[in-house]
Structure formats: C-alpha cells, structure tokens
A and B are shown apart, each in its own frame.
Chain A
Amino acid sequence: MSEPTRYETIIGLEVHAQLATRTKMFCGCGAVFGAPPNTRTCPVCQGMPGSLPVINRRAVEFGIMTALALGCGINQHNRFARKHYYYPDMPKNYQISQYEEPLAEHGRLVIDTGAGPREIGIQRLHLEEDVGKLLHDGALETAQSSSVDFNRAGVPLMEIVSKPDLRSPEEAAAYLKAMRAILVFLRVCDGNMEEGSLRCDANISLRPRGRAEYGTKVEIKNMNSFRNVRDALEYETRRQARALDTGERIVQETRLWDPDRAVTVSMRSKEFAHDYRYFPEPDLPPLDVQPAWVEQIRARLPELPEARRARFQEAYGLSAYEADLLTQGRGLADYFEAAIGAGGKPKAVANWVLNELLREVPGDDDRAVEACPIPPANLAGLLALIDDGTISGKIAKDVFEKMYRTGDTARAIVSREGLTQMADEGALGAAVDRVLVEHAKVVEDFRAGKKAALGFLVGQVMKATQGKANPALVNRLLSEKLPKG
C-alpha cells in the first residue's frame, strides 16, 4: 500500500480519445498521423478568415456508440460551444467543444483491481476538436521560439470525464485500461498512448478519512502509459500526504509528470482559472439526436469486452486469465472464435493462439491480427492434423512456424516436406529395434531398474525418425520390446 491510511485519495480521470474517423471533426482533411508538417490542412482547420466548420457525422456516431457502451444517457438536444483561450496551437484561438449541453452524461465503467468489481461513475462525454502540434526550440521553459504544425488541428476528440470515484492509483490505472479496451473494441479509437491518440489527465486530492468535504485538487498531466498513470499518482499521493502532514497548504495547480526523474513538477501556478468565455457555437446548428438513430447504433454495437470475456469463460471453459488475454482486442477475439468455427477445439485453439500466435502478433492490434499469414481456418487445419495423428505436437510447432512464414496451409507443408507422422508399426518397429541394439547399455540400465532410461530411448527413436514418430506408438512398442526387468 503506497498511500498513508490516514488520508483518503480521491481521483478523477479525464480521457481524451482521438476518434478513428477518416477525416477531421469539422472539415474533410484526412485525420492521419505522421504526414509532413502542414500538409493535411485547409482553410477550416487552419482557422483562416472566412472558414466555417461542418460536423462529421461519423464522429457523432462514435460518440454515441461509446456513450452507449458506458451506459450514459444521450442528451437528445446537445450543441457545440466555443471555448476561448490564446495559444499558438489553437488556429482560431477558440476550440469548438461542448459545454452546457454535452452529447452524453451519467454513465459507469466497472473496474476490478483484484479486490472485486467496482463501479466508477462517468460524469460526461463530449466531442471537440484537437489542437495543432507545438514544437519548442529546446525545453519549453528556455526556448526562444516555438513552431507549429497544424496537421493535428481539427482531428476529432472525444473527452470522457469520470466522477471523482477512484480511490487509488491502481484503480486509476485499471480504469484507464478498461476504458481503453472498450474504445479499442468499439474501434472508435486505436488506443495508442505513445502516439497520443489516447491521453489521460488526472485530478487528485486527499482528505482525512472520515471528512466529507474534498481537499484541494491538483491536475496531473503528461502520463502517457498505464504505468505512468499509476506511478505519477502514487508519487502525487505521497507528496500531498507529506504536505498535509506538515500543515502545508496544497496549491490548486497543474503539475506535469516527469517520468525520468519520477516526480511531478509544477507548471507555473494558476491563481485563477482560465475564463473560457463559453457561448453556443453560432456556426453550427444544434444536434437533435433522434432515439431511432440511437437504436440503430445500439443494434450495431459489437459485444463488449466484459460480456465477451464472460461468455468465453462460460461457453468455452476458459480461465479468467485466458479469456482476458483473448479479448484484449476485438480482432483477436474474432480470430479465436473463427478458428473454433472452422472446427478447432476451444481449449486447443486457445492454447495455440496464446502461446504461439501471440509470439508473432501483438494481440491488441486488430490490423496485425487480420493481416496474420495464418488465417483462423488454417490454424484449425493444423490442429486437426495433430488430432488425427498425422503429425506430432512437436512437429506441429515447426509446421506452425513454416505456415507463418509462407502463408501455406498445414496440410500443404506436411505433404511437401514429408512430415507425416510415422505410424506404421512395421517401420516404426524396425526403428525401435535398431535403437535397442545401438543402445544396449541403456537397455541394461532400464532392466536394472532405471526407469528414466525409457525417456532416453524414446528420445533416440524420435531422433532416428526425425521427430516424425507417433510418440504414443513409440512408447507402446518400446514397452513391448524392452525386457521386463
């Protein structure tokens, strides 16, 4: 336990997810990562005089999908608002966001840190546009100039704000993980924290146990992985606890997590909050999200991670751990079920996917899973060959590797390379006889009581048959031919 027990930690998380739409929130520029600077802009996303925004319908759909998955109430009447502040990465010096009437409110996300499931409240979910990328000539504090690339300006963002229901850094990390899983599953966001398509800020305060009123909250930014979230909040908890212990006042401020020095650092303290001067966006008519539209979207929702995990355990007899891994991405879960559909037995498929496939393919990368050179049917084919004795489990591993490299089916590879398991009693019997003659001394050891010698002899037969011998048959033959000791 890292936080002192005399204080209760109160954490709220604010997640910004870049939506995986083709185009930006308010214009038709491609929402792509990594293009040369200022090549993915137009008068609208660059905020040129005379430009006007037009809402991307798919972004609204993604927002509704996410809101439904999080059990939020959709606000039928919602609208965009202007949020004003001056910064070079803000093309218009206002951001089109949502304020008093967000797309959705009051949902929940269930997390489990091992101490049982807990429901964390979701305060609101709304849509807005991303800002450009600011590059400093050195560190921000000392840079004499900065430069702006507006490619990212206008990319759709979905902001999800939790209620301050989280009670520990572990819970915060678990919340983020669960949130990410849902977003990735819904395919509304690619969940890439390193590239910044999923960002997380936290608000954290401490209060003495038993006290009802909240302490002063501090905003923490720059946590770009689950681990960073946990570490930053653990550090901050300790820092605030130390301060409170010595009677020091907690300053309401924004602090940045420095992963190298493992500390949070104060940005210059803001004594007063920004005056964002919100007002309804006059260039955008309000949204009237019809119930029929919401139902259409609800009907198209994929099975969510939680439900799918539970079903995998029940229907396929998988452990919680196995189910968890197999549902880390919708692509992987689909792959698993497709292989079963093609005839594979669930436990065996699970085994091979978790142990062999995941060595080659990142399980949460839907695109990589889909592009895998071993389609689910081919995996099922390989398992069938093991099942009917055509090849041994050991050979199968080789075949798997070859399948991955060439994209061929198991059957094609086995037949091409003559890997069929030797199950011919005659031929195998001859091989066994030869081994027994070659290793007469070991046979003597076995007869003298050294049971382990059998394993050695089995191994020699496998070696002599280039691994193709059917192990069960080898065992039986050896047992028959070996002198009983």
Chain B
Amino acid sequence: MAGLASLTAHELGARYRSGAATPTQAVSECLARIEALDPRVRAFLTVTREDALRRAALADARFRTGAPLGPLDGVPIALKDVLCTRGIRTTCGSRILDGFVPPYDATVVARLFAAGAVLLGKLNMDEFAMGSSTENSGFFTTCNPWDLSRVPGGSSGGSSAAVAAEMVPLTLGTDTGGSIRQPAAFSGVVGLKPTYGRVSRYGLIAFASSLDQLGPFARDAEDAALLLGAIAGADPMDSTAIDVPVPDYRAALGRGIEGLRLGVPVEYFMDGMDPEVEEAVRAAIVTLEKLGARTEPVSLPHTEYGLAAYYVIAPAEASSNLARYDGVKYGLRASGARDLIDMYSRTRAAGFGNEVKRRVMLGTYVLSAGYYDAYYGQAQKVRTLVRRDFDRAFEKVDLLVAPTTPGVAFKMGEKADPLQMYLNDIFTVPVSLAGLPGVSIPGGFTRDGLPIGLQLVARAFDEATLLRAAHAYQTVTDWHLRRPPLQAGTADRTPR
C-alpha cells in the first residue's frame, strides 16, 4: 500500500473503484506522512485525525456496496484555515480567533463533504490571508518542502506545502492578490484562482470582499479540474457568486491546444526579474508553441499601476471586514480592560500581527474623511483601466502566458520591508483586480532546485481553457512529477 499518498486524486479514485485500495488505507498513509513530516514542514494548524478516519470508514463502506458518491469520495483533502468548518477550530492564521469554533460549515466545505471528501485538517496561512510568505501567521511559519529554510509562498503557504510534501493530494486555498498562484509557483504545484464569482465565498473568512476567491491546489491539471468542478457554482447564500453553469472541466482536458492564440504580455518581463525565471517561462512558451499554440505579444499598459491600486482597495476592504474582531462575540478578548473602548483597542492590538495592523491602518486611512476620492475612488477607477487592458488583449488572444512571480522562493526573514514583500505580487495582482481566472503550474526549476511557476490567464469563466492548456503542457513536461527531497519513507526524487 506504500505510495498511496503520492497518488493524485484521480489515480486514487481509480484504485478505490477497482478495489486495489481503500479510503482508510489512503487516509491512514496521509496521516502517517503528516505525522512524520509536518514537524519540519509545519503546514498544518489542526489535524482532524479521528474525524478523518471516521469519514474514511464511511467511504470504505460506500465503495464496498458499489455506491460511491463521485470522484472525490474517500479522497483526503485539507483546507486553508480561512474556511469555516463546523465544530472544528478555525483561526484564519490569527490569534484574535484563537479558540473560535464555527457553528457552521462554509458552502464549499458542505459541498466537499457531500461529495465524500475526507478532511484531514486545517492549514497554516498568513494571518487573515495578508502576506506572500506565510511568515505572517500568528502561530508559526510553514517551510517550503523543497528547501526548509525558505518560504513556501503565501498567503496559502500551508495549502501549497501540504500538496508539495505529498501529505494530501488536494487542498483548497484562497487568492486575493496572488495567494494561490504565488505559493503554487514557490512550492512547485498547480494552484488555480477561479474567476471572481465562480466559487461561493459563504463561510470564507473575508479579507477583501471584491477580490477573494477560493481555489484548488493539486499536483496536476486533472486533479485541479476535479476539485474545481466540485466546488464551483452559484450559492443562494452568496450574492456575488454568479449563476453561470459549471462545465465538466475534466471532459475538456484532453482536447489539446492546436490553434490556441497565446498572448505574452510585454510588461511582465521586466528588469530585476530572476533571469532563471525568465528563461524557464520563455522555454515554456516554446513548448506551448510546439503543442500547436500561436503566440503573439500583447500589452497591458496599466500593469505597473495594478499593485498600487490593489494596495488601496484590498486594505480598505480588509479594514472594514476586520472591524468585527473586537472581543465581544468570539475569539480573543484582552483581560483587564477599563472600559469598552479600552477592550476593543487592547484586544485588537494583542490579537492582530504587524502586517494586519499595517493594512488595517492603511485601509482606515484611505477610507477616512477627505481621502476617499483621492485614494479609494481613484483606485477603483484604475481598476477599470486594468480590466480594460485585459479585455483588449482578449480580443486578440484566448490565453495569456507569463511568469507567476518575478523570483523564486526566498529565505525566511529575507523580505523584511513590507513594500519589498508586496512587489512579489506584481504579476498576480492585475489578474485579481480584473476578476479573471489564473493558474500557476510548475514550469521548471532553478539550478538550485527551486520551483519556477508558469502563469496562464483566461477570460472570465473560461477556466476550462486554462486547464486544457495546463494539461497539454503537462503531457510533454515532467516538472509536475518531481517531488521535494523530503525523507519519510515514501519520498523519492524520480518521476513516475
């Protein structure tokens, strides 16, 4: 039974159906790997061992009686701790929610449980999803499985590391300005940010309401398609989840990309980029051309303004969404307060980390009287300009291909200056502002063995094309089959 933890969800499903393996066997192996490796990787905030085995046993029975729920039945999964799970501690990576146990499941969580997925635990993240390295977690930092002295990326660092380290085949993360794509790039896995409104946000602890989206981490495009298909779709509890039909993402995967028009945004190849990243991405473009795609340059002239607009809009919305963390109804309450205002101020000071405080202050400032038009108002207009850049590009092409990040996983503590940290998101943020879907897939490695991410961006609600192109790329490359050199008995470096 060794090696079950290394399988993709679709491979596991095949084993379950043929009887070659059971969900309990797979889940037990994943739990064993977590136990062996997580003291070093530190991806998990909470491991739900008993619950996982209980759910696995129920899945076993369903397969035995020949009535499984679907392709996710019995598949081990873990969730970024930004999602509310009923009866299971949910922290959002913050001390201000320490002890919080939600009385309800997020819609997406309910859908996964209804599909038979087995939850193994909640994953570490930058506090309130604010960060690009998971160093802002209120609890501890997750380590990149490829090099434990480096960050896995953020804010969904636990989600990307858990998949990279083969602890689970699938995880969910969230992406507001790049928090799925960037850690996917840093950790060498597939990470997809759906179109804004594709997936329900009910039960997703909000950071920036007009930008947040939930999305899958996986080892290949097919698994990402599988998970996306299970969570996508309208929800009466979320007014911003758009009622657009969910296609069968897996069915469309194998169609190839013959004739697909690819745009290469000239602004995304800038001075100061890591030359190895640029090299890998250019090589990937050649590979895509060999698969039949036609490439042409496109221009997204407002790219450099995207990051600035994002760092007005996201903190503004965050300052509003985080106002509720005040010690009254849930979470931390500072002791010994003189009065109510004292309680509010001390609770928030004690519960929030520095990055969160910074963004709350910035957000409050830009929304405050006299500054709204100059900052927030202006940023919303720039957002329109950024969106129009993409609309114009997509008149000529079907997909954009670009680097995910300007560099690769950096060492912990290396980016101490907040602005330096923000610059990590320069290629991912504009896509978020435009609400478009984007995926990062493994596109190579540096000479030091660090993963490089390749970003694909599609039109709104065209995740199918993203996945199809990713899948095609993965039929002729093996970056996604490489595994980090973590020792735990079942890890090895050779591709399958």
Task: Tell me whether A and B are bound partners.
Answer: yes
- Select one of B103, B210, B323, B326 contacting A84, CB under 8 A: B323
With a cutoff of 8 Å between Cβ atoms, the chain A residues found around residue B367 in the complex are 84, 277, 279
Which one of A92, A148, A283 has the greatest number of beta carbons of chain B within 10 Å?
A283
Residue A52 CB within 8 A of the other chain: yes
Contact A94 B201 (CB under 8 A): no
Residue B203 CB within 8 A of the other chain: yes
In Å, the complex CA distance between A277 and B90 comes to 29
Residue B376 CB within 8 A of the other chain: yes
With a cutoff of 8 Å between Cβ atoms, the chain A residues found around residue B104 in the complex are 42-43, 48
Residue B113 CB within 8 A of the other chain: no
Q: Which residues in window 49-81 of A have CB below 8 A to B?
A: 49-55
With A279-B316, A282-B209, A282-B317 already in contact, the answer to whether A49 and B100 are too (CB < 8 A) is yes
With A49-B205, A84-B323 already in contact, the answer to whether A283 and B97 are too (CB < 8 A) is no
Q: Which residues in window 188-203 of B have CB below 8 A to A?
A: 201-203
- Select one of B92, B210, B237, B329 contacting A46, CB under 8 A: B329
Contact B320 A84 (CB under 8 A): yes
Contact B329 A50 (CB under 8 A): no
With a cutoff of 8 Å between Cβ atoms, the chain B residues found around residue A169 in the complex are none
In Å, the complex CA distance between A52 and B328 comes to 19
With A86-B323, A88-B340, A275-B369 already in contact, the answer to whether A55 and B239 are too (CB < 8 A) is yes
Which one of B83, B320, B341, B368 has the greatest number of beta carbons of chain A within 10 Å?
B320
- Select one of A43, A86, A275 contacting B326, CB under 8 A: A86
- Select one of B316, B323, B330 contacting A48, CB under 8 A: B330
Contact A50 B324 (CB under 8 A): no
With A86-B326, A93-B326, A275-B368 already in contact, the answer to whether A50 and B316 are too (CB < 8 A) is no
Residue B240 CB within 8 A of the other chain: yes
Contact B237 A50 (CB under 8 A): no
- Select one of A42, A50, A88, A146 contacting B84, CB under 8 A: A50
Closest to B105 in A: A50
Q: Which residues in window 276-331 of B have CB below 8 A to A?
A: 316-317, 320, 323-324, 326, 328-330
Closest to B212 in A: A282
In Å, the complex CA distance between A394 and B129 comes to 81
Which one of A53, A84, A148, A278 has the greatest number of beta carbons of chain B within 10 Å?
A84
Contact A92 B324 (CB under 8 A): yes
Closest to A273 in B: B369
Give per-residue flags for B77-111: 1 if the beta carbon is below 8 A from chain A beta carbons, else 0. Answer: 00000011000001010000100101110100000
Residue B386 CB within 8 A of the other chain: no
Q: Which residues in window 271-324 of A have CB below 8 A to B?
A: 275, 277-279, 282-285
Contact B323 A94 (CB under 8 A): yes
Give, as a whole number of angstroms, the nearest-CB distance from A319 to chain B.
52
Contact B239 A53 (CB under 8 A): yes
Give, as a whole number of angstroms, the nearest-CB distance from A29 to chain B.
13
Q: Which residues in window 362-384 of B have CB below 8 A to A?
A: 364, 367-369, 372, 376
In Å, the complex CA distance between A92 and B205 comes to 13
With a cutoff of 8 Å between Cβ atoms, the chain A residues found around residue B329 in the complex are 46-48, 91
Closest to A43 in B: B104
Give, as a whole number of angstroms, the nearest-CB distance from A170 to chain B.
37
In Å, the complex CA distance between A279 and B344 comes to 23
Q: Which residues in window 341-394 of B have CB below 8 A to A?
A: 341, 344, 364, 367-369, 372, 376
Contact A49 B97 (CB under 8 A): yes
Residue B204 CB within 8 A of the other chain: yes
Contact A283 B240 (CB under 8 A): yes
Residue B206 CB within 8 A of the other chain: yes
In Å, the complex CA distance between A275 and B323 comes to 14
How many contacts A-B (CB < 8 Å)? Answer: 94
- Select one of B201, B320, B369 contacting A52, CB under 8 A: B201
With a cutoff of 8 Å between Cβ atoms, the chain A residues found around residue B364 in the complex are 277
Q: Is the interface of A mostly helix, strand, loop or mixed?
A: loop
Q: Which residues in window 209-254 of B have CB below 8 A to A?
A: 209-210, 236-240
With A52-B239, A283-B240 already in contact, the answer to whether A43 and B103 are too (CB < 8 A) is yes
Residue A82 CB within 8 A of the other chain: yes
With a cutoff of 8 Å between Cβ atoms, the chain A residues found around residue B203 in the complex are 50-51
In Å, the complex CA distance between A347 and B203 comes to 62
With a cutoff of 8 Å between Cβ atoms, the chain B residues found around residue A148 in the complex are 328
Give, as a whole number of angstroms, the nearest-CB distance from A45 to chain B.
12
With a cutoff of 8 Å between Cβ atoms, the chain B residues found around residue A91 in the complex are 324, 329
Give, as a whole number of angstroms, the nearest-CB distance from A279 to chain B.
6
- Select one of A47, A278, A279, A284 contacting B324, CB under 8 A: A47
Give, as a whole number of angstroms, the nearest-CB distance from B198 to chain A.
15
In Å, the complex CA distance between A348 and B492 comes to 99
Contact B239 A284 (CB under 8 A): yes
In Å, the complex CA distance between A130 and B364 comes to 24
With a cutoff of 8 Å between Cβ atoms, the chain A residues found around residue B84 in the complex are 43, 48-50
In Å, the complex CA distance between A450 and B344 comes to 89
With A43-B104, A48-B102, A50-B202 already in contact, the answer to whether A93 and B237 are too (CB < 8 A) is no
- Select one of A47, A54, A277 contacting B237, CB under 8 A: A54
With a cutoff of 8 Å between Cβ atoms, the chain B residues found around residue A49 in the complex are 84, 90, 92, 97, 100, 102, 205-206, 324, 330
Contact B102 A50 (CB under 8 A): yes
With a cutoff of 8 Å between Cβ atoms, the chain A residues found around residue B103 in the complex are 43, 48
With a cutoff of 8 Å between Cβ atoms, the chain A residues found around residue B326 in the complex are 86, 93
In Å, the complex CA distance between A88 and B341 comes to 10
With a cutoff of 8 Å between Cβ atoms, the chain A residues found around residue B239 in the complex are 52-55, 283-285
With a cutoff of 8 Å between Cβ atoms, the chain A residues found around residue B201 in the complex are 50, 52
With A82-B320, A92-B323, A92-B324 already in contact, the answer to whether A52 and B237 are too (CB < 8 A) is yes
Give, as a whole number of angstroms, the nearest-CB distance from A293 to chain B.
18
Closest to A280 in B: B380
Closest to B376 in A: A279
In Å, the complex CA distance between A448 and B439 comes to 117
With A94-B323, A279-B376, A285-B240 already in contact, the answer to whether A52 and B202 are too (CB < 8 A) is yes
In Å, the complex CA distance between A277 and B366 comes to 9
Give, as a whole number of angstroms, the nearest-CB distance from B105 to chain A.
10
Give, as a whole number of angstroms, the nearest-CB distance from A283 to chain B.
5
Contact A50 B368 (CB under 8 A): no
Which one of A52, A55, A283 has the greatest number of beta carbons of chain B within 10 Å?
A52
With a cutoff of 8 Å between Cβ atoms, the chain A residues found around residue B97 in the complex are 49
Contact A52 B102 (CB under 8 A): no
With a cutoff of 8 Å between Cβ atoms, the chain A residues found around residue B344 in the complex are 86
Q: Which residues in window 350-378 of A have CB below 8 A to B?
A: none
Give, as a whole number of angstroms, the nearest-CB distance from B359 to chain A.
15
In Å, the complex CA distance between A47 and B329 comes to 9
Give per-residue flags for A18-46: 1 if the beta carbon is below 8 A from chain B beta carbons, else 0. Answer: 00000000000000000000000011001
With a cutoff of 8 Å between Cβ atoms, the chain B residues found around residue A284 in the complex are 239-240
In Å, the complex CA distance between A115 and B210 comes to 54
With a cutoff of 8 Å between Cβ atoms, the chain A residues found around residue B330 in the complex are 48-49
Which one of A50, A91, A94 has the greatest number of beta carbons of chain B within 10 Å?
A50
In Å, the complex CA distance between A47 and B324 comes to 7
In Å, the complex CA distance between A278 and B368 comes to 8
In Å, the complex CA distance between A284 and B209 comes to 10
In Å, the complex CA distance between A93 and B343 comes to 14
Contact B202 A51 (CB under 8 A): yes
With a cutoff of 8 Å between Cβ atoms, the chain B residues found around residue A47 in the complex are 324, 329
Q: Please name 23 pairs of A and B residues whose Cβ atoms are closer than 8 Å in the assembled complex, sorted by A.
A: A47-B329, A49-B90, A49-B102, A49-B330, A50-B83, A50-B106, A50-B201, A50-B204, A52-B202, A54-B238, A84-B323, A91-B324, A93-B324, A93-B326, A148-B328, A275-B368, A277-B364, A277-B368, A277-B369, A279-B372, A284-B240, A285-B239, A285-B240
A-B pairs, 4 with minimum CB distance: A93-B323, A282-B209, A277-B367, A282-B210
Known A-B contacts: A43-B102, A49-B330, A277-B369. Give 6 more (CB < 8 A). Answer: A49-B324, A50-B203, A84-B367, A91-B324, A92-B323, A93-B323
